[in-house]
Amino acid sequence: MARLRTCSLTWAALIILLLPGSLEECGHVSVSAPIVHLGDPITASCIIKQNCSHLDLEPQILWRLGAELQPGGRQQRLSDGTQQSTITLPHLNHTRAFLSCCLNWGNSLQILDQVELRAGYPPAIPRNLSCLMNLTTSSLICQWEPGPETHLPTSFTLKSFKSRGNCQTQGDSILDCVPEDGQSHCSIPRRHLLLYQNMGIWVQAENALGTSMSPQLCLQPMDVVKLEPPMLRTMDPSPEAAPPQAGCLQLCWEPWQPALHINQKCELRHKPQSGEASWALVGPLPLEALRYELCGLLPATAYTLQIRCIRWPLPGHWSDWSPSLELRTTERAPTVRLNTWWRQRQLDPRTVQLFWKPVPLEEDSGQIQGYVVSWRPSGQAGAILPLCNTTELSCTFPLPSEAQEVALVAYNSAGTSRPTPVVFSESRGPALTRLHAMAQDPHSLWVGWEPPSPWPQGYVIEWGLSPPSTSNSNKTWRMEQNGSATGFLLQENIRPFQLYEITVTPLYQDAMGPSQHVYAYSQEMAPCHAPELHLKHIGKTWAQLEWVPEPPELGKSPLTHYTIFWTNTQNQSFSTILNASSHGFVLHGLEPASLYHIHLMAASQAGATNSTVLTLMTLIPEGSELHILLGLFGLLLLLSCLCGTAWLCCSPSRKNPLWPSVPDPAHSSLGSWVPTIMEEEAFQLPGLGMPPITKLTVLEEDEKKPLPWESHNSSETCGLPTLVQTYVLQGDPRAAPAQPQSQSGTSDQVLYGQLLGSPTSPGPGHYLRCDSTQPLLAGLTPSPKSYENLWFQASPLGTLVTPAPSQEDDCVFGPLLDFPLLQGIRVHGVEGLESF
């Protein structure tokens, strides 16, 4: 526990505060336990003494854990006058922290006292205790696993004692071995050991929260001895010693000097330097031998070797592996079978091309450095004439005229393989039939045939790019030993989109059949280009196209169809599909004088390609045709106008709205009206004497329904007491004869109104208005101005009382100004109408 008094804590650091009237010895902090289990509660109390006179009577005590204020402190005054504050932390989750008792002093927080708190776990039981007797250092070295972290200072001690039994009874104690901090091993010196006596050993771990011990280990130091490994080296060459066999290594080792008196056994491990092979273990090695010949290795291969040893037959531990030794095995003569095939050149039949392929007879057949083709003349015993010496798998040489057979061998530094005879026989065997080939995928070809009868002993299959070059180095071949085979899958040196020539030759006993050839593509390609479009004929709305189909090509997939695309200037596209046998097409439905872009697409199963774009323009219509079209259009328009005019003129229902037969009173004059006396009854108007009656007929008569006040007898006239004088308009061209009238001779006239008055009567004039439904003017004529009719000024307007209509009357009377047709009439030459 560390206590700091008379110090001030700020947010940045702790500094010592020296003030007049120091706070030293004013406060004291005590805790229930300074070290607890991580997460356990802890209780602390802080007491402020009474002799701190410079403090307030009731100072407020605050608690702080690390840099955080902790609430929950309970403060009280004790009987002796001291102030006490108690706080309980429910869970201490810090492995190490300072708990401080503070109070406010001025503008800062002053620490009266503080204590360090630790939290952690008790030590776990140490595991996997093991010990080794090291003869080099003459000490017993023990090691263990300490277990999980405790967060507290934990000490480990290696304890041991001597025992004459099986460690059940404890004898003399051995001095404890304490390892350095952070280490989990310790060494007991040789002076404290009895090499052939049992001893009990264990590890004790201890910290503030508890103690634990590992299980006890009972052993003799020599039973756990670990030797140092021997040193590997190569054997010195000796003239008496035989050289190592192929695939063998001779090696020796020097044992560790301090262990010469100890019986031991060793084992060896090796692996090739190249590749990722694993170690191969060999052992145990003979006890008395210090040299060894390792066989069964690959010839001409570099190996890495290591050795280790152990005390045997008594208990002990394996030593570490020795430093590596690198050795290389010797060569062995090739053990291969050479499959051969030959061909004569067409230009020089005595020049032979010989091909071969080595087939290993064993897993380790030895490396091949080269090949030799030789010939043994029949007349020269023991003489061998080399024809070819090469590292390739083929050779071209001139064949001697008397030579019918040559020998082929493979060789290396250790020797040669068995000779393979090559007999140059003639082609006199039967040929195979129905040779065919097809692509399996872009990198393989299947070649098939029907075997001849009798079956051959095998086949030679050759393939290469076509057309063949002057050199056959690009040819690949293999031999099929099964004479009943009917096909073979070629997977070597096959590239896509290439044409290959495949040759199959049957092999018989001392003979061969004629070679058969077939061509095949590993993968067919799409057409390189589409046929070029040509314009054959063109019209205003059509165009005839043609093209020349491309001839079939090897390696090109056959065409499946054509597609023609054409586009106008509005970017509207059209297309049609044609079969592969088509060589022309006619486009219909084109617009005259329009531009089109056309191209042809040729498609196959392998892909498609487009032709070049053909641009064309359809023809413009000729001038005569244009004139005919315009003439027909004008004639049709003229006929339409004539028919419309006739319909408007001949239809009565359409004539009146356009040309109404109503005179314009504003531009009429009574002077142009000729008086005509009609044979009508004279009626007397009371109080008016016998005024003349003027009758105006202004509209054609239409059939009307009678109004309620009209007389039921249409032949009767108004009962007027005075003479009625009628005026009719002469020479009206719109008047059409209708039903015969009275003696007046006029027709289609309607009695619209009768003007009644007498030139001698002093009273105002009267008018008689018929209730007709004939249309008047377009609108009511406005009242005349003062300068248009002077008689409006001379004749004062008054309200005239008209007699009530009777059932016999079909006319009614009213004021003159209520009659709109007569408001615009100017009367000339009738002096009797002054009062009117």
The answer for 620, left when phi > 0, alpha when psi is -120 to 50, beta otherwise, is beta
Per CATH, which fold does 127-225 belong to? Immunoglobulin-like (2.60.40)
C-alpha 331/C-alpha 301 separation (Å) is 9
Is the predicted pLDDT of residue 274 greater than 90, yes or no? Answer: no
The stretch 653-671 carries a mean pLDDT of 57
Give whole-number Cα distances, 341 to 300, 346, 395, 403, 475, in Å.
30, 16, 11, 17, 12
Is the predicted pLDDT of residue 183 greater than 60, yes or no? Answer: yes
Give whole-number Cα distances, 731 to 247, 461, 675, 741, 744, in Å.
152, 127, 13, 17, 14
Q: What is the largest CA-CA distance in the chain?
A: 192
**Exposure letters 741-777 (e unless 16+ CB within 10 A, then b):** eeebebebbbbbbbbbbbeebeeebbbbbeebebebe
- Split at pLDDT 50, 70, 90, the class of 556 is confident
In whole angstroms, how large is the CA radius of gyration of the chain? 70
**Single-letter code of the amino acid located at 363:** E
Give the closest residue to 253 by CA, choosing from 203, 294, 216: 294
**Exposure letters 123-145 (e unless 16+ CB within 10 A, then b):** bbebeebebbbbbeeebbbbbbe
Question: Which of 9-18, 74-83, 537-546 holds the top average pLDDT?
Answer: 537-546
Task: Enter the CATH code of domain 336-421.
Answer: 2.60.40.10
The stretch 571-592 carries a mean pLDDT of 91
Strand-pair partners of 421? 407
> Exposed (0-12), middle (13-18) or buried (19+): which is 685, by Cβ within 10 Å?
buried
C-alpha 248/C-alpha 269 separation (Å) is 14
In CATH, the architecture of 533-618 is Sandwich (2.60)
284 upstream amide cis, omega within 30 of 0 = yes
Task: Enter the CATH code of domain 227-236+244-328.
Answer: 2.60.40.10
* Mean pLDDT (the chain, rounded): 75
Q: Provide the token pair at 785.
A: 């101005």
Instruction: Give pLDDT, residue 801.
Output: 41
- Split at pLDDT 50, 70, 90, the class of 524 is confident
325 vs 6: which has the higher pLDDT: 325
**Single-letter code of the amino acid located at 564:** I
The stretch 340-354 carries a mean pLDDT of 79
Q: Provide the token pair at 397.
A: 């040489």
Is the predicted pLDDT of residue 681 greater than 70, yes or no? Answer: no
**pLDDT of 392-442, one tens digit each?**
888 888 888 788 888 999 998 888 888 988 888 766 778 888 888 888 888
Q: pTM, whole model, 2 decimals? A: 0.44
415 vs 751: which has the higher pLDDT: 415
Q: Are 720 and 802 in contact (CB under 8 A)?
A: no
Instruction: Give pLDDT, residue 248.
Output: 86
C-alpha 739/C-alpha 736 separation (Å) is 10
**Single-letter code of the amino acid located at 816:** L
In CATH, the architecture of 22-120 is Sandwich (2.60)
Q: Provide the token pair at 191.
A: 């002076």
Phi/psi for 430 (5° steps) reads -70, 150
Instruction: Give pLDDT, residue 389.
Output: 92
| Paired sense of beta strands 584-588 and 607-610, if any | unpaired
- Split at pLDDT 50, 70, 90, the class of 526 is confident
C-alpha 164/C-alpha 158 separation (Å) is 20
Give the closest residue to 411 by CA, choosing from 312, 333, 336, 331: 333
The stretch 515-539 carries a mean pLDDT of 85
Task: Give span(s): CATH 2.60.40.10, the chain.
Answer: 22-120, 127-225, 227-236+244-328, 336-421, 433-521, 533-618
402 CB neighbour count, 10 Å cutoff: 9
Which range has the worst mean pLDDT, 136-140, 373-377, 623-627?
Answer: 623-627
C-alpha 545/C-alpha 543 separation (Å) is 6
| Paired sense of beta strands 458-465 and 264-272, if any | unpaired
One-character DSSP codes across 439-490: EEETTEEEEEEE--SSPPSEEEEEEEESS--S--TT-EEEEE--TT--EEEE
Instruction: Give pLDDT, residue 721.
Output: 42
797 alpha carbon, distance to own chain's centre = 101
Phi/psi for 507 (5° steps) reads -115, 135
The stretch 29-43 carries a mean pLDDT of 90
**pLDDT of 687-744, one tens digit each?**
444 444 444 444 444 444 444 444 444 444 444 444 334 334 444 444 444 344 434 4
The stretch 566-578 carries a mean pLDDT of 92
Per CATH, which fold does 433-521 belong to? Immunoglobulin-like (2.60.40)
C-alpha 197/C-alpha 612 separation (Å) is 104
CA torsion, ordered 258, 264, 265, 269, to nearest 10 deg: -30
Q: Are 519 and 504 in contact (CB under 8 A)?
A: no
